[in-house]
Amino acid sequence: MYVCLCNMITDREFRAHAAQGDCTVSTVYRSLGSQPRCGKCVPFVKQLVEQVRETPRAHPIAAGTA
């Protein structure tokens, strides 16, 4: 689903970049090579970043790939 219509960025793109490390809305936009234009998407992007941050990451041992 498109989250940022001004830049044509999807939720998958935001989640993928947010999952690469501790980040903020502005760092995710920078990693995508853009910046918010109208700003209507910023609250939703912030929510996506927080969801990614709160989602536990699979550890190799926990996943049974030790």
Tell me the three state secondary structure of residue 7.
coil
φ and ψ at residue 60, rounded to 5 degrees? -55, -40
| Cα torsion through 51, 42, 5, 28, rounded to 10 | -60
Across 7-33, average pLDDT: 91
Mind listing the pLDDT tens digit for each residue in 23-34? Answer: 899 999 999 999
pLDDT at 8: 96
Q: Whole-angstrom Cα distance, residue 57 to residue 15?
A: 13
* Of residues 58 and 14, more confidently modeled: 14
Mind listing the pLDDT tens digit for each residue in 39-63? Answer: 999 999 999 999 988 886 654 555 5
* Class level of CATH domain 2-54: mainly alpha
pLDDT at 34: 94
